[in-house]
Amino acid sequence: MLPLTGIRVVELGQNLAGPVAAEILAHLGADVIKIERPEGDDARRWGPPFWKGVSPGFLAVNANKRAITVDLKDPREAAWLVEFVSLADVLVQNLRPGSLDELGLGPAALTARYPRLIYCSVSAFGSTGPLALKPGYEPMVQAFSGLMMMNGDEDGPPTRIGTSILDYGSGMWAAVGALAALVNRQQTGRGCVVDASLFEAGLAWLKGHVASFKVSGVVPERHRTGSHRVVPFQGFETKTGPIIVAAGNDRLFAKLAGALGHPEWATEPRFASNAARVAHKPELLAQIAEIMLTRSKGEWMDRLEAAGVPCAPINTLPEAIVLPQTIALGMLQRVPGEALSLVGLPVSFDGVRPEIRLAPPKLGEHNDEIRGRKE
């Protein structure tokens, strides 16, 4: 039995962040009922490409859910949904801030009416402050939070992180909050309001950079694959492609120096300690880069692994999803009834990963089952 078996979740989610939170709970065994407008979640149309008319962005975050359509512009439909929430343990929503209050579906109204309800809101900029009612999308908040400015080439422009890290991250934190609130409800009998946002997630991902700035007063530099605190801790080109070398302490650096043919570096004052290597970073990295170009990726991987130096090839997406490790972990799971595999929940219980039990739902697929009517 999955951990959340018997828990019901109503999702008023769209795009990514809210659906991510609800899908995590669904993978953990909750019965998640996704509420969509009659025209459907906008993410269904985020393409091409499409799978049977539905975008990969929608498919990626909506497995293990049932779906119904509700027209919130119709007062009778909105009233029906208010009553339906009485059956829920958790409500997850990421609609435009404030839009649900006028319908009696806001956090104050629903938690007053249903004291055991856990009401999870995911917004762009947070539940309080001057931007609480401002809507926003991933790239806006990557820029606003400072995350984008910390990403990219040292000499290039700020760069968006190539996945929706704030949507996924805020959804994850909302799910963590819901799980904590469920535990608290067992003890108190009462639910609560859980708030998460893309902006807060962005600041949280920067917590190491913030700590560094607070300690030193110096803004950390951007590094394509490296670190401003640990050297060498980055990618290097070889004859046949790039690899990451992560000598995270002085002992590992000594092993790396030996593998590179320069054991004397381990005791040389410029390089003997991490602080010294940070201070002399350009000259050290230039020498390492020149040496790395003398062998192939495979040769360096064998040589470094034999020496006990942490390293990894920089894989492409097609390479990563067919790795023996990926297959052994069972991270890609076949969608029931479809010739399609999606990424599963990155958590296992007693060695067993929760399965994708239900394909991402068609628009209004469960109207008849749940509402007693067909579209």
Candidate list 41, 89, 167, 195, residue with the active-site label: 167
Rounded to whole angstroms, the Cα distance separating 136 from 130 reads 14
Rounded to whole angstroms, the Cα distance separating 170 from 203 reads 11
Rounded to whole angstroms, the Cα distance separating 323 from 331 reads 11
Q: CB count, 10 Å around CB of 90? A: 29
- Find all residues with CB under 8 Å of 370, minimum gap 6, and list them: 33, 66, 68
DSSP 79: H
Q: Is 167 a catalytic residue?
A: yes
341 three-class SS: strand
Rounded to whole angstroms, the Cα distance separating 102 from 356 reads 36
Rounded to whole angstroms, the Cα distance separating 202 from 144 reads 9
- Beta bridge partners of residue 122, listed in sequence order: 196
Rounded to whole angstroms, the Cα distance separating 233 from 253 reads 10
8 Å CB contact between 90 and 9 = yes
8 Å CB contact between 196 and 170 = yes
Q: CB count, 10 Å around CB of 218? A: 9
Rounded to whole angstroms, the Cα distance separating 145 from 160 reads 12
Task: Please give the angle made by the CA atoms of 77, 83 and 87, to the nearest 5 degrees.
Answer: 125
142 burial via Cβ count (<10 Å: 0-12, 13-18, 19+): buried
Q: Position of tokens 């947070």?
A: 126
The residues assigned a catalytic role are: 167
